[in-house]
A and B are shown apart, each in its own frame.
Chain A
């Protein structure tokens, strides 16, 4: 069974701090996606990484896919209250867009 483990489960920080969340697996994924989910809403795609070692930046968010395509990280610089939410990583193992989600990291950024 393929699993994605995310850490930490919870993160509570002050506005302006930096943070990194991790997504790890023993399985190889053809692509990996990061989503953000807010209460009462469905997840919204932030980024897709497909190449081992790939780094993508989205404003203050930096995403990295591990060289072996088994793990990924999300780094947020100077976090803002608007970054608050549940961050989910999801791996596509079979190439048919069948996603396996991690349990998520719940981030709270306080003013």
Chain B
């Protein structure tokens, strides 16, 4: 079974530029998550989708971050414009459903460096 795919794996941009990340979850997984993991910290949930609807985006900085999950499968996360403090690994995860104690399967992440 293929895992969660993410691209690109690495991205270096200058501040105020835009960047987009792509995620393809495990086939059949209804729930998709985007996390931000800053060096030395645990992952922080940015947004959670159930199919193509947003369940939780309370920690998404909506003035610069946006995410969509068209057709309830692939998802993209965009940052515009980027700031230095956005340097982090962006992890995508999926689960079969959003219920309690469900296993989340993580992709390898995209490491973003903002100069």
Partners in one complex: yes
Stretch at the interface among A14-22, A69-77, A99-107: A99-107
Instruction: Supply 5 A–B pairs (Cβ within 8 Å), ascending by A.
Output: A42-B106, A95-B99, A97-B98, A98-B56, A101-B42
Separation of A30 and B109 alpha carbons in the complex (Å): 27
Q: Which of A40, A42, A103 contacts B4 (CB 8 A)?
A: A42
List which B26-56 residues lie within 8 A (CB) of chain A: 31, 40-45, 48, 55-56
Size bracket of the A interface: 20 to 34
Q: Which of B4, B104, B109 contacts A99 (CB 8 A)?
A: B104
Separation of A102 and B95 alpha carbons in the complex (Å): 20
Size bracket of the B interface: 20 to 34
Inter-chain contact count A-B, CB under 8 Å?
A: 67
A108 at the interface (CB under 8 A from B): no
List which A19-52 residues lie within 8 A (CB) of chain B: 30-31, 33, 40-45, 48, 50
B residues near A (Cβ < 8 Å) are: 4, 31, 40-45, 48, 55-56, 91, 93, 95, 98-109
Given contacts A42-B106, A44-B106, A97-B95, whether A31 and B42 have CB atoms under 8 Å apart is: no
A residues near B (Cβ < 8 Å) are: 4, 30-31, 33, 40-45, 48, 50, 88, 90, 92, 95-104
Contacts of A99 in B (CB 8 A): 43, 45, 104
Identity of the chain A residue whose Cβ is nearest the Cβ of B101 in the assembled complex: A31
Contacts of A92 in B (CB 8 A): 100-101
